[in-house]
Amino acid sequence: MASTVEMEQPEKVWGGGNKPFAISYGKIMMWFFIISDALSFSGFLTAYGFMRYANELSWPVAEDVFTHFPFLTGDHPLLYVALMTFILIMSSVTMVLAVHHGHQNNKNKVILWMALTVVGGLIFLGSQAWEWSHFISGDKGAVEINLPSTVSARAANGEMKDIRLGKNVIMHIVTSDGEKLSLSQVVDGELGHGSNHGLEFSSAEVISAFKHNGELELMMPGKEKLVVPHAAAANLLDSKALAVQGANMVHNEYGKKQFANFFFFITGFHGFHVFSGVVLNFIVFYNVFLGTYEKRKSYEMVEKVGLYWHFVDLVWVFVFTFFYLV
């Protein structure tokens, strides 16, 4: 009696339902890239955290730094940054909808939501450029002390504390009741502007104006806002003191220059990712418009760039938390 042996056909590893993790090669490569990039951002934010912890008392407070809003006067702490964050998060929502309609092979809906995603990314990039320009140009200005010494400073509760000053210490000029003044107001008095408005003032004229006005004091940036009385402050303003306007890699009117260094690097690195994402989203949008994916009967490419875009948005949530909220 003959026996029959049934031979099982080898299953395709990547060609059907038995794919490892049920994911295509293209998507798993995107996940590998995202994980490696997440490690980079984690390292940068960890370094920022250590630097901030080491300089906690004099580290700039975000509410005192990011106060501008386009077309509005006065201070609006973190309002514009919150709007930027909302726009970027909403662009993730539009990307989700684009992927959803891609699964349904609905070309027109994919075009709509991809277009809105691109627009959201462009608005965020423009907003970040505007924020950078104001951060670089500065607001009220400050003085940089380069005379290592120990001085007595007044805390918010009136208690006097001895603080040790090193080199490159940023201090803001305030009135006796704690109102922060711009360099324009220090030099020009009542005729001065609340912001320097692009005007430049020499160190000599700022120091001279400060010493001739006994009501002016110096306040350290940071949460404690320690104030050095006029007499002690005037002694700190020697020939090496500098008037600082704006922020760059060397001087930062808002406080520690390391804050500006990390801000430029991390937000710039993230901004490059957003720009790359906008370019990729536009290319995919254009291909959807041409009907490329409709002919393939697959919108997987939309899903791939969607993974990248969600990653970029998630990274911003951490950047926003570290730089602006904590």
63, 324 contact by CB (below 8 A): no
Q: How far apart are CA 246 and CA 132, in angstroms?
A: 11
Question: Which of 223, 244, 265 finishes a domain?
Answer: 244
Within a domain: 149: yes
Same domain for 195 and 98? no
Residues 59 and 221: beta-carbon distance below 8 Å: yes
> Token pair of 50, please?
């250590």
Residues 190, 93 share a domain? no
Q: What is the CATH number of the domain that holds 119?
A: 1.20.120.80
Query: Could you tell me if 134 and 262 lie in one domain?
Result: yes
Residues 153 and 131 in one domain: no
Q: 67 with 150, same domain?
A: no
Q: Is residue 209 in some structural domain?
A: yes
Output the CA torsion sign for 139, 140, 145, 149. Answer: negative
**Closest among 140, 128, 15 to 75, alpha carbons compared:** 140
Claim to verify: residue 59 and residue 76 sit in the same structural domain: yes
Copy the structure tokens of residue 304: 């791939």
Residues 269, 314, single domain; the answer is yes
Residues 29 and 116 in one domain: yes
Is residue 250 in a domain?
no
Is residue 190 within 8 A of residue 239, CB to CB? The reply is no
Among the listed residues 314, 303, 311, the one whose alpha carbon sits nearest the alpha carbon of residue 276: 311
- Contacts for 107 with CB less than 8 Å, ≥ 6 apart: 288, 291, 293, 294
- Domain residues for the domain of 218 are 142-244
Residue 229 shares a structural domain with residue 150: yes
SS3 assignment, position 244: strand
pLDDT at 16: 47
Q: Quick one: pLDDT at residue 8? A: 55
As for how many domains the chain has, the answer is: 2
> In whole angstroms, what is the distance from residue 208 CA to residue 211 CA?
5
Residue 31 maps to a domain: yes
Give the Cα separation of 229 and 153 in Å (integer): 7
Instruction: Give the three-class secondary structure for 72.
Output: strand
Q: Extract the tokens encoding 273.
A: 């990712």
Structural domain includes residue 131: yes
Q: What are phi and psi of 10, to 5 degrees?
A: -60, 135
207-261 tens-digit pLDDT: 999 999 999 999 999 888 899 999 999 989 987 899 999 999 999 999 999 999 9
Residues 32 and 101 in one domain: yes
> Would 315 be classed as within a structural domain?
yes
Residue 281 DSSP SS3: helix
Please name the amino acid found at residue 151.
Answer: V
* Structure tokens that stand for 301 in this block: 């490419």
Q: How many whole angstroms separate alpha carbon 163 and alpha carbon 236? A: 13
Please report which residue ranges of 174-255 form alpha helices under DSSP H.
183-188, 203-211, 230-236
- Give the per-residue pLDDT at 41: 96
Domain boundary pick from 189, 210, 244:
244
**Residue 219 placed within a domain:** yes
Number of Cβ within a 10 Å radius of residue 147? 16
Distance CA 54, CA 58 (A): 10
C-alpha torsion angle, residues 158, 161, 163, 168 (rounded to 10): 0
- Among 225, 231, 234, 226, which Cα is nearest to 162's? 226
Q: Does residue 251 form part of some domain?
A: no
Query: Same domain, yes or no, for 282 and 319?
Result: yes
Cβ-contact 51, 294 below 8 angstroms:
no
Q: What is the pTM of this model?
A: 0.87
Please state, as a whole number, how many other Cβ atoms lie within 10 Å of the Cβ of residue 305.
23
- Determine the pLDDT at residue 188: 87
In sequence order, what E strands does 93-234 have?
142-145, 149-154, 160-165, 169-174, 217-219, 227-228
List of E strands, 226-294: 227-228, 242-244
% helix / strand / coil in the chain, to the nearest 5? 55, 10, 30
Average pLDDT by stretches of 10, the chain with 326 residues? 51 51 78 93 96 88 91 89 96 96 94 97 96 92 89 88 87 90 87 73 92 93 90 87 92 93 96 96 96 90 94 96 90
Residue where one domain finishes, among candidates 182, 217, 244:
244
Q: Does 104 share its domain with 150? A: no
Q: State the pLDDT at residue 292.
A: 92
Beta bridge mates, 243 = 143
Q: Are 183 and 206 in contact (CB under 8 A)?
A: yes
